Amino acid sequence: MAKKTTGGKNRIYIIDDHPIVREGLSQFLSGQKDFTIAGHSEGGRQALEHIGSLKADAVIVDLNLKDMSGLDLIREIHAKRPELPILVLSMHEESLYAERALRAGAKGYLMKSEAVEKVAEALRQILAGQVFAGQGLTTKLLKRLTGPSNKPESSPVERLSDRELEVFQLLGQGMTTRRIAERLGRSIKTIETYRENIKRKLDLKNAVELVYYAVQWSGQKGPVAAPATTPS
């Protein structure tokens, strides 16, 4: 288990761009006998400035941050503080994002739709050196281990790499190629390459279908039908 503070409580650092979420988590965890709040930030870059000297026993991270990719943030925290357990608390579907987050260095994944008591349960589990995974991820991994190797993904979006998925998500939020390039610190040409890869993997004919699919997926986080008619 991670080293505790003098008072016997584990210090938790919260990274979420919603003030209400930060405040709610802070109040709930502070009311638990084994937790105290080490601090919080609304963005990943601010958190990275503090992480080197941060006296925390665990970190809660939201994947949907305004200033950087949540997956990139997890990788950077893990690189700087590999001993620091990270719990992802996200609105994004567990079946699509949890495995990616764990590969990036997180030790647990929990959806925001779960009861707040689950946050404490998950923190205690990762602080004990275990991995916290919900039923969705557990079922997915078991099916992968026991099912046929050529079984198709439940959603075509699962074929995308982490960066392609991020570009796809930002397209669904209405961002242009130029804005996505600025957001990710990549060239426009690189983002265009990602767009082409996404179209190929999702079997989409053109940019109109790509944006349509991205917007629909962003709204319902699942498979969507292609538009009835698409311009060439």
Interval 85-144: pLDDT, tens: 999 998 877 778 888 999 999 999 998 888 899 999 999 999 999 999 876 666 666 666
Q: Binning pLDDT at 50, 70 and 90, where does residue 12 land?
A: very high
| Numbered ranges of CATH 1.10.10.10 in the chain | 156-220
Q: Which CATH number fits domain 10-141: 3.65.10.10, 3.10.129.10, 3.75.10.10, 3.40.50.2300?
A: 3.40.50.2300
Query: 156-220 has which fold?
Result: Arc Repressor Mutant, subunit A (1.10.10)
Which secondary-structure segment (H or E) carries 162? helix 162-172
Is residue 161 within 8 A of residue 152, CB to CB? The reply is no
Domain span(s) for CATH 3.40.50.2300 in the chain: 10-141
Give the global pTM: 0.77
> What separation in angstroms does the CA of 57 have from each of 2, 10, 89, 118, 128?
6, 6, 16, 18, 11
The answer to whether 11 touches 56, Cβ cutoff 8 Å, is: yes
Let me know: does 49 contact 95? Beta carbons within 8 Å. no
CB atoms within 10 A of CB 37: 17
Render pLDDT for 129-161 as a digit per residue (tens, 0 to 9). Answer: 999 987 666 666 666 666 665 555 567 888 999
